[in-house]
Amino acid sequence: MVTVTINVNGEKRTASVPPETTLLRLLRDDFNLTGSKLGCDVGDCGACTVIVDGKAVNSCLMLAAQADGRDVLTIEGLATMDRLHPIQKAFEKYASLQCGFCGPGVIMSAKALLDENPDPTVQEIRDALGGNLCRCTGYVKMIEAIQDAARILRDEPVEINR
C-alpha cells in the first residue's frame, strides 16, 4: 500500500491504496468523486479528464502515487450548489451535450484551455478537445459553448448566433 495525499478541489485528502491504483480509481472509489468517468481505461476517450497542477490529464493513465502532493481539480470542484461555472452554463445554454457521459471530461479540457489561453481560436479549441471523444454530437455546439464561455470569462459582451 502507498499513502497518497492530494489537494482535491481545494481540500487536502489522503488515502492508502495499492501502488497500481490510478488517479481515476482513487477519485471515484476512495474519494467518492464520480464525475470523472471510466470510459476506455487506456487514455483514448478523455471521459476521465481532470486538471492536475493546471494541466488536463487522463486520470485513467496517471497513477494515484504520481498525484501525491499535487493539486487536482475535478468536475465537482468547478461549481457550487448555488452557481455553475461559466463553462457549464454555456454548455447548458448551447445544449452542447446529449447523453452527458463525455461532458465532465470535455468541460475539464475546456477549463484547462481557457485557463491557459483566454481567447482561443476555433482550431485551438478543436486541438484542446482532440483527446475527448463524443459519440452523440458533432462538437459544433461544444465549440460554440467554449467560445461563449471564453467571452464571459473575459467579461466581453455575448452575442448568440442563432
Q: Is the residue at 90 inside a domain?
A: yes
Q: Which DSSP category does 64 fall into?
A: G
Residue 159 pLDDT grade (very low, low, confident, very high; cuts 50, 70, 90): low
What does the block give as the cell for 77?
470542484
Q: Which candidate, 33, 29, 34, places its Cα nearest to that of 17?
A: 29
Q: 128: number of CA atoms within 13 Å, CB side? A: 28
User: pTM for this one?
Assistant: 0.93
CATH code, 50: 3.10.20.30
pLDDT per residue over 13-43, tens digit each?
Answer: 999 999 999 999 999 999 999 999 999 999 9
Q: 11: number of CA atoms within 13 Å, CB side? A: 9
Q: Compute the average pLDDT of residues 44-71.
A: 98
- H helices present in 30-155, as ranges: 86-93, 103-116, 122-128, 140-153
Number of domains composing the chain? 2
Question: Which residue range(s) make up the domain with 91?
Answer: 86-153
